[in-house]
Structure 1
Amino acid sequence: MRRVKDNALSLTFLALFVLALGGQAVAGTFQYNDEQLASGGEPVSPLEYVTSSSFAVDVAENWQSEYLQFLLFIVLTVWLVQRGSPESKEPGQEGVESDREQLVGTYAKDDSPAWARAKGLRLWLFGNSLGLVMGAVFLGSWLAQSVAGLARFNSDRLADLRDPVSWGGYLASPEFWNRSLQNWQSELLAVLSMVVLSIYLRQRGSPESKPVGAPHAATGVQG
């Protein structure tokens, strides 16, 4: 039970993710079959739907926008600050910081990760591993979106007796960029809202908020 309590936040979000993904699969199956029947097609089973390009492109386009949001926020907060936001470093602390501040190399502690004591490429990889993984997931899910989206796009074109397009042609199409940009703008707005609203608003007890009595100008402090 202690292990569950210590990991309650990640376990809760994992459970919510599974429930939301399952709900999307069920609702998507009903919607897809309704469209199939309306166009004279045959309905499909839930298993057929979740293995289809229609389901894959919807999932992938959401994932890539989420990981783009995290990638940009992780990287940009190294160099950019927002006075008054708990999501920002203090003004004047921009940059990658010194080895002493980052506890790497000779400044690593006894319980520091082993790679924090490394040098050269290993230290660089570990020191940028969060951004690298977020970037890899973003690129992977964006690639998956392009492949699944191409299959769905060409299926719709063939149904309308139009010629299919190549992968490169799909990447240059308004369909692909509309799918991408409509998700990007919502994620970027969410980050902007979090950064700015947390300057003036509070959520007592949350590490994403400043203490209730902290000045609006206080930066980088958490409740």
Structure 2
Amino acid sequence: MNGNREARAGFWRDNSLTLTFGIAFLVVLACQALTGHAEFNEQMTVDGLQPITFTDYLASSDFAVDVTENWQSEFLQFFLYIFGTVYLVQRGSPESKKVHEAGIESEREQRMGEHARPDSPRWAGTGDWRQTLYARSLGTVMGGLFLLSWAAQSIAGTAAYNDQRLRQLQDPVSWAGYVATPDFWSRTLQNWQSELLAVAAMVVLSIYLRQRGSPESKPVGAAHTTTGIEG
């Protein structure tokens, strides 16, 4: 019995970062759905239309576009950051590699091919297309998730935009027509600029500021010019 409790406690401890943020994501998503439903029905009432149920709102294009427009910007942020930090550096930041290490690094440094260790992922030591694919898998998946969520945003946005036009007795537009509208690019760019600002702020502020115990910060006593060292 004690062993089971210890195993459960160990599981939560070992995965606490993922579990905490995963649960927080679900809570915030639920709150967004509740407030979005209230706002949507408020607008429907102003337009002289019948409010919809919460279930109908969850299945609506309005809720889908609000969710996916945030997702695509987050995945874009990580995609750009993952690939950008291969070659771009910032002296003094723990978010950057050391200045002299810019680039894809050698197979020895990356523990690839003949330099793979017994505990290395199997594809890291294959020396063929699997190694090439695996060596770029994180950025590739993030880029794919960005494209998928951006496509979902554009499709849901088209439906939501056309619903609004129909309520105003205007003709609907095609998907291509919507993608060319200011509404689509306003939704997109307002998220992109906030994500890029957040990354830039993290890179620069981590040069001079510290957070004891965090791997996103340098050790408290590290010099401001120290680069690529985490606490």
Deviates more, 1:81-90 or 1:159-168: 159-168
**Residue 43 of structure 1: CA displacement?**
1.1
Deviates more, 1:150-159 or 1:13-22: 150-159
Question: TM-score under structure 2 normalisation?
Answer: 0.95
One-letter amino acid of the counterpart of residue 133, structure 1: V
**Residue 41 of structure 1: CA displacement?**
0.9
One-letter amino acid of the counterpart of residue 61, structure 1: E
Matched, 1:121 2:113: no
- Counterpart Cα distance in 1 of 2:189 and 2:126: 40
**Residue 11 of structure 1: CA displacement?**
0.3
Q: Deviations over 1:1-45 (max 9, x none)?
A: 111100000000000000000000111111111111111111111
Deviates more, 1:28-37 or 1:137-146: 28-37
One-letter amino acid of the counterpart of residue 99, structure 1: E
One-letter amino acid of the counterpart of residue 5, structure 1: R
Alignment of 1:55-66 (within 5 A): 55-66=63-74
Deviates more, 1:142-151 or 1:159-168: 159-168
Deviates more, 1:177-186 or 1:115-124: 115-124
Matched, 1:175 2:196: no
Aligned to 1:3: 11
- Counterpart Cα distance in 2 of 1:106 and 1:47: 55
Residue from 153, 161, 178 that aligns with 2:161: 153
Aligned to 1:105: 113
Alignment of 1:51-90 (within 5 A): 51-90=59-98
**Residue 177 of structure 1: CA displacement?**
0.6
**Residue 120 of structure 1: CA displacement?**
2.2
Aligned to 1:203: 211
One-letter amino acid of the counterpart of residue 31, structure 1: E
Deviates more, 1:116-125 or 1:19-28: 116-125
Alignment of 1:17-56 (within 5 A): 17-56=25-64
**For 2:102, what is the secondary structure of its paired residue?**
coil
Q: Deviations over 1:146-196 (max 9, x none)?
A: 000000111111111211111111111111111100000000000000000
Percent identical among aligned pairs is 57
Divergent runs of 4+, >4 A = none
- Counterpart Cα distance in 1 of 2:59 and 2:174: 22
Q: Deviations over 1:123-158 (max 9, x none)?
A: 111000100110011000000000000001111111
- Counterpart Cα distance in 1 of 2:50 and 2:171: 23
Question: TM-score under structure 1 normalisation?
Answer: 0.99
Alignment of 1:208-223 (within 5 A): 208-223=216-231
**For 1:181, what is the secondary structure of its paired residue?**
helix
**For 1:92, what is the secondary structure of its paired residue?**
helix
One-letter amino acid of the counterpart of residue 195, structure 1: V
